[in-house]
Amino acid sequence: MATPNKLQVLIIEDNEGDFILVADYLSEAFPLANIIHSSYLSEGITVLKQQPIDIILLDLILPDSKGEQSINQLKALPGIPPVIVLTGFADKETGINSLKLGVQDYLVKDDINGAVLQKSILYSIERDRIQGQMAESEKRFRSLIENSTDGLALLNKAGDIIEMSNTASKILGYPATEIIGINTPGFLHPEEIRKVFKLFSAVVSETNKVLDADFRVLNPQGEYIWLETNFHNLLHDTAVNAVVLNFRDITSRKKNEEEKKQLISELTKSNAELKQYTYITSHNLRAPLTNLISIINLIEWDKITDENTRILLEAFKESTFQLNDTLNDLMEAILIRKSDSSKQTELLFSDMNDKVTRSLNSLIEQSNATITSNFVSAPTVLFDAVYLESIFTNLISNALKYASPERRLQINIESCKVEDGIELTFADNGIGMDMAVIKERIFGLHQRFHTNSDSKGIGLYLVQSQMNALGGSIKVASNINVGTTFTLNFKNQPVYA
Amino acid sequence: MHNLIFSIDDDRVTQMLNQMIFGRTAFAKKCLPFMNGEEAIKYFQQLNETDGTPDNIPAVIFLDLNMPVIGGWEFLEKMEEKFTHQFTEIKVVILSSSVNPEEKKRADDDPNVIEFLKKPLTLEMINELKHHPKLTGEFSKAS
């Protein structure tokens, strides 16, 4: 806008005398103002299209247009500057009415003087600017609401929707003009009517109260849609005077949740059945097996005189105990599945290493192995103590079992911190394995890759089960006649500052 | 030595072996075998009708858990319900191959159960049982 002194003023006035009078006062009020004169409305409109104008002074009786008609015509133009209406004394009523049509002010020609004109023009321009800003801001706000992916609705105290956004109408499937609300019969799902009413009355009863809820509403197609909603009581706010309801359609999410729930309940059921089945199977296997053991215990060996019978019975005894060991191992593997994280404690790797090497002492001495370890960079781990002992035992005895006859066995155990937890490695220089052949089967149940007589094919299976049960993992790398390295990754470790 | 004990187990071989063990350890003069809980319940019913003497009531019942018709737990419930009076005097030893930890817990919570033994039953187990604090009194008198 130009500064008041350099005002661009358009005077639309067919009466030459009136024009001169107004122009005089104008020059008095704004000496530098540029005055453009049109005698016809059409002429004035042409001027408006051609150059920027700061204010229009409009006579209401023109040769080509009169009163209200002139104002409407001007107001229809885009970017119209503020308008001040000039009336004769007889026309004063029209002037007052014209304010309702969006003009900024009216002046009775006989009352005009420089001061009145100056004040009216300055006020009009300022008011117009502020109104423009408000309209702009309102427009932006509307657009935010209308283009939001959330539906927005205003509810009265009774819970009827009195206004809703386009998105709201789109989500609900009802035109914005249709009066619906929580009182509309059948709109809410029968299972949630009570819940929604309770929630709404809680919201209404407290100023500024905000509450959330998920519930279903019926669309015009007769389908229920799930809404995630948020009610905000702004009844006290004179500008809003409503409960503001924000909502989005979560039907597909709810459907997924429902399917997931169904799936989990089915899995839980079949899991429980499986567990039961395992117990029954183990029991049925165990019953005759315990009898066999009992029989062996009751045999009075010194009374057996026949050598052949004695040998056969000895073999029977050995096989029976083997069968018993296998069954016990299998049971142990099953029980791992039931473990939970509650038994996890912080354990020192060095303690565990000492304990296990002590218990395996005779085996280690027998194979003349050296075991080195380094737990400096990650001395502790959060894990189940029984599992960790079993892991150390299994992996060390595994290395002892598969030592190379050509060299002295060396086992190196190390821990270190990695990005997602702690890594523990067991490296040996034993006979190794052909990983291309074995692959991941190494951790399978009853997989045996050597014709070693005391291998039952369960140790590594147990290690993997124990790691997996507590969210960890195990990997293996191996080369024939070079050695094998097991890498264990412990996840969910506490973070230390 | 106990005058009378029961062994409730559906497995014939187990019954035979148990008999042998009770005999060799001199744990009881007589061991009555029952193939399931229901047979044992019937015994107590008849006892009630014929005004049975304490001689007919076992000191100890060795009880298997997994049995057809009436299992171990159901047997204990029925005994508690129907023969409350006699039953308080009777000690129960669970003898099971179950590895289910919940069963062990249930046994610990049962006032009648004095021991949960894992099969197979051995001579050592019975010899130890002779010194069980809840049994010794009766036992040392006999032996």
Locate the chain B residue with the closest alpha carbon to A286: B97
Average pLDDT over residues A86-113: 84
Joined together, the tokens standing for residue A362 give 């005779």
Closest CA to A329 of A198, A462, A200: A462
Question: Strand B91-96 and strand A8-12: pairing?
Answer: unpaired
Joined together, the tokens standing for residue A486 give 């097991």
Residue A340 has pLDDT above 70, yes or no: no
Within 8 A of A286 by CB-CB distance, chain B residues are: 97, 99, 119
Average pLDDT over residues A461-474: 84
Say whether residue A291 is in contact with chain B using an 8 A CB cutoff.
yes
How many Cβ atoms from other residues are within 10 Å of residue B13's Cβ?
15
| pLDDT averaged over every residue in chain A | 86
Whether residues A290 and B119 touch (CB distance < 8 A) is answered with: yes
Q: Are the C-beta atoms of residues A23 and A35 closer than 8 Å to each other?
A: yes
Q: Which residues contact B118 (CB under 8 A, 6 or more apart)?
A: B96, B97
Q: How many helices (H) and strands (E) does chain A have?
A: 14, 17
* pLDDT given at position A2: 45
Lowest mean pLDDT among A88-97, A441-450, B57-66: A441-450
Burial label, B101 (beta-carbon count in 10 A; 0-12, 13-18, 19+): exposed
B54 or A474: which leads in pLDDT: A474
Residue with tokens 């020059």: A27
Whether residues A295 and B17 touch (CB distance < 8 A) is answered with: yes
Element (DSSP H or E) covering residue A485: strand A483-490
Could you read off the pLDDT of A42-54 as tens digits, one per residue? Answer: 998 999 898 899 9
Say whether residue B66 is in contact with chain A using an 8 A CB cutoff.
yes
Lowest mean pLDDT among A184-193, A323-332, A442-451: A442-451
Say whether residue A355 is in contact with chain B using an 8 A CB cutoff.
no
Residue A168 has pLDDT above 80, yes or no: yes
Within 8 A of B99 by CB-CB distance, chain A residues are: 279, 282, 286, 331, 335
Whether residues B13 and A288 touch (CB distance < 8 A) is answered with: yes
- B14, B99, B122: residue with CB nearest A297: B122
Average pLDDT over residues A153-159: 90
Residues of chain B below pLDDT 70: 51-52, 99, 136-143
- B24, B97, B122: residue with CB nearest A283: B97
- B14, B21, B99: residue with CB nearest A331: B99
Say whether residue A288 is in contact with chain B using an 8 A CB cutoff.
yes
* pLDDT given at position B139: 53
* pLDDT given at position A453: 46
* pLDDT given at position A497: 38
* pLDDT given at position B7: 95
Whether residues A287 and B119 touch (CB distance < 8 A) is answered with: yes
Residue A428 has pLDDT above 90, yes or no: yes
Sign of CA dihedral A162, A165, A166, A170: negative
ipTM: 0.74
Closest CA to A43 of A10, A67, A75, A20: A10
Lowest mean pLDDT among A120-134, A442-456, A470-484: A442-456
Locate the chain B residue with the closest alpha carbon to A281: B98
Residue with tokens 């097996």: A289
Locate the chain A residue with the closest alpha carbon to B18: A294
Q: Which long-range contacts (CB under 8 A, 24 or more apart) does A202-208 make?
A: A203/A231, A203/A232, A203/A233, A203/A243, A204/A157, A204/A233, A204/A235, A204/A243, A206/A233, A207/A233, A207/A235, A207/A236, A208/A232, A208/A233, A208/A234, A208/A236
Beta-strand ranges (E) seen in A333-472 are 344-348, 370-374, 380-384, 410-418, 421-428
**B96 to chain A, minimum CA–CA distance in Å?**
9
Say whether residue B123 is in contact with chain A using an 8 A CB cutoff.
yes
Residue A314 has pLDDT above 50, yes or no: yes
Whether residues B17 and A279 touch (CB distance < 8 A) is answered with: no
Question: Strand A380-384 and strand B60-63: pairing?
Answer: unpaired
* pLDDT given at position A1: 46
Q: At what angle do helices B72-82 and B37-49 cross, to 10 degrees?
A: 20
Whether residues B123 and A297 touch (CB distance < 8 A) is answered with: yes
CA gap A82, A126 in Å, rounded: 9
* pLDDT given at position A130: 92
Residue A110 has pLDDT above 90, yes or no: no
Name the range with the highest mean pLDDT among A77-81, A187-191, A265-269, A463-467: A187-191
Residue A146 has pLDDT above 70, yes or no: yes
Residue A343 has pLDDT above 50, yes or no: yes
Closest CA to A219 of A163, A180, A247, A245: A180
